Structure 1
């Protein structure tokens, strides 16, 4: 594992991959393409899963792949391969060219504008390979699960614990002269257990993820948190249908804002399948809300010096003082909308949500009586209309304190109203993904139960 991880981040490996991408682009030019872009990635990793004290799986991962897109004027063709031998790469380019010959002309197709491409590459500290042996990974996973199973007598079963480590390198190039690559790493520990009390059974989980091993929570802490979350959900009951304030806990609040990102994504906008059409420079949140993209955060899980097209990423506000200031656009979607790319081909890079000073207990006190949502189920979100209806579980809160766990309910509203009805954002920020937000308090939603 050590040698594999080190080879991913080595200068020799980077030079080899850059040469392969350069060869693919040269082959595309040779075959008459007016423009081309290619991306190549290699990665290695180790994953271990244990359950009930036994090892279930040990997997070593090693993969590689090259994708090439060619343009003959406004006609586009793409192909990919996992075989990086010279003849295989040449045949992949030839396949992309054949596809382009049958493609319809698209006036918006093509490479990014030259002046949008990244020319400087900040050091983002994204590569920290973990020299982890299978034996050490098993020991960590067993420590995590054992801690969870021993936490409380109500823990009667386990869905297992896992430890994974990943190191990868990607190179991107195009015929405008862009050619660059960098290495990344990503490691995680996770655990899920089942609790029982009378006729009630519940499960919950916890996980930690980071670029560097030292930034992970301890395996025992992950197991303890998974067990604690499971035990507190036991003896849950439903609610009668009502209107009430709702808090989305930090670990599910990111999903609520993920729907907002979907609604301002270029593809949904030019297809006119978003409830936020024509909302630029209009208020979509209360005035205290600010959402900013910070792509150059060191060790950020979604940090990147450029997007998947090579367009330079930059820090900027999506929402300022509640007003929508920017869409999320790739080159293609920007051209379809008559706008400029925002460097978001492939997604958003570290969405930061400004928050107040209140932690979750303070938000509960501010809410007084209402629902704390800890889990969401189902896919009842319509981005065209904004209608929102999802199964939920969590806790009923009275007088600012958790009264009892809740299950078998549905929460419903419209995203446009939900965003405008945000009352406060907590300081308990969850940083385990691309959206960094604390718990979110909404003034009211429909809660449907018995």
Structure 2
């Protein structure tokens, strides 16, 4: 691959020329975004290659504003004639579009000024033979676990992404990142008594990935442990969320404080800004500047400077997630959370969001639970963002006298996020694995619907 820094500069030059052409064609303001991605992956099953995939894409999007009217167009054709046609079409569409009093670019003093080095690309791009070798190794480790009878496969992959953004308010910037991943899914048992489980890791740097054997072994051990699940009687009891599923609760918060939902009045937290939403001591952080973070970038998709901020601080809701349009609608300022593809205007989205760890170990968190549920898998999307009502299919393990006991499946856990959040207690085992992260979490007072 050619130098990614030069590719980023070339992309910035391309979209800078595009927004200049838009102004010349009659736009009052304009911005443009360029996306480039490349990935390679290999999958095996029972030791044999099952699928290999390679993909490359480049596309760009142009948004033009004529007064308070705006239009977005996109293309994958970078020929000069095609780009000139794109500009003319965008301006014509904007002139015919309805007015939107909230649309527009950020003010110059909101724009990011200096790039921040976030160490998102290590320059390592494994080729297909190496990926196949890693996929075979992770699956072999899963199959070697006693009790494993079959496999859904092992896989390994790597990727590269580049984004550039510029606007007529005076911003031009770019960023690029890499990714490396490995996974395995194993099956234990026979006939109608089979159970499956998995493990997965992804990092921006290859050196940060665990050994394939450890991933496969964990997938196999998890599957075996789920054999012979029991039913659980319906009751109210403490629920403990494994970190793999605890992240979903952070995601529900992010959705509830998204400025678009708040502006529409469709969030169960729409009237809670500045109020206690969690218990004292709970902090949830959004960190777009974390080194080697999957969603790290020093500017948002309107060119606004990004900063690390506590969304929940000592239990209190401190902010909404805002882009420029939702900020204007709510009479506030952008928080630098604009996200954007190439086909539509910006909208708010979190970056690297995580619930800060507590002080207790997971074992200490469960020690006083006489009867409870440890959840390792959630099924379905039974969450109402307007009311906060929560109902999810679940599987996991019974907690008896503070210890994990027999596996359990085919149950439903229910509550309301407005009551669940204040009763949430985190353990101290936070690991940064994905874009949304959380430690083990305990919530008292939820309902389990079983037999």
TM-score over 0.5 for the alignment? yes
CA distance in 2, matches of 1:224, 1:317: 36
1:317 to 310, 326, 348: 310
Task: For residue 69 of structure 1, report the CA deviation from its aligned partner.
Answer: 0.4
Secondary structure of 1:141's counterpart equals helix
Matches of 1:86 and 1:444, distance apart in 2: 62
Identify the range of structure 1 (95-104 vs 157-166) with the bigger mean alpha-carbon deviation: 95-104
Match of residue 262, structure 1, among 255, 268, 278: 255
1:449 corresponds to = 450
Alignment counterpart, residue 330 of structure 2, candidates 328, 337, 341: 337
2:389 aligned residue: 387
* Structure 2: distance between partners of 1:47 and 1:286: 43
Query: What is the aligned partner in structure 2 of residue 55 from structure 1?
Result: 49
> SS in structure 2 opposite 1:126?
coil
In structure 2, the residue corresponding to 1:276 is in which secondary structure?
A: coil
* Contact 2:356–2:430 (8 Å) recurs in 1: no
Matches within 5 A, 1:10-49: 10-11=5-6, 13-49=7-43
CA pair 243-174 structure 1, distance change in 2 beyond 3 A: same
Instruction: Compute the TM-score of the two structures, normalised by the length of structure 1.
Output: 0.96
Equivalent residues in 2 for 1:29-428, closer than 5 Å: 29-152=23-146, 154-196=147-189, 199-346=192-339, 347-422=349-424, 424-428=425-429
Q: How far did residue 286 of structure 1 move?
A: 0.3
TM-score by length of 2: 0.95
- Quote the offset at 1:71 in angstroms: 0.3
3-state secondary structure, aligned to 1:367: coil
* TM-superposed deviation, 1:205: 0.7
Shift of 1:370: 0.5
User: Deviations 1:199-238 (Å, cap 9, x if unpaired)?
Assistant: 4211111101100000111111111111111111111122
Q: How many residues align?
A: 442
SS at match of 1:361: helix
Q: Which runs of 5+ in 2 are unaligned?
A: 340-348
Mapped pair 1:9 → 2:10: no
Secondary structure at the counterpart of residue 10 of structure 1: helix
SS class of match (2:106) = coil
Question: Structure 1: any 5+ residue segments left out of the alignment?
Answer: none
SS at match of 1:301: coil
Contact kept? 2:368, 2:401, Cα under 8 Å: no
The answer on whether the counterparts of 1:8 and 1:183 sit within 8 Å (CA) in structure 2 is: no
CA distance in 2, matches of 1:314, 1:116: 12
Q: Report if aligned partners of 1:8, 1:167 keep a CA contact under 8 Å in 2.
A: no
Determine the structure 1 residue equivalent to 2:441.
440
Change in Cα spacing, 1:8 to 1:208, as seen in structure 2 (3 Å) is farther
Inter-partner Cα distance in structure 2 for 1:53 and 1:337? 56
3-state SS of the aligned residue for 1:318? strand
SS at 1:237's partner residue? coil
Q: 2:300 touches 2:337 (CA, 8 Å); kept in 1?
A: yes
Q: CA deviation at 1:319?
A: 1.1
| Superposition deviation, residue 46 in structure 1 | 0.9
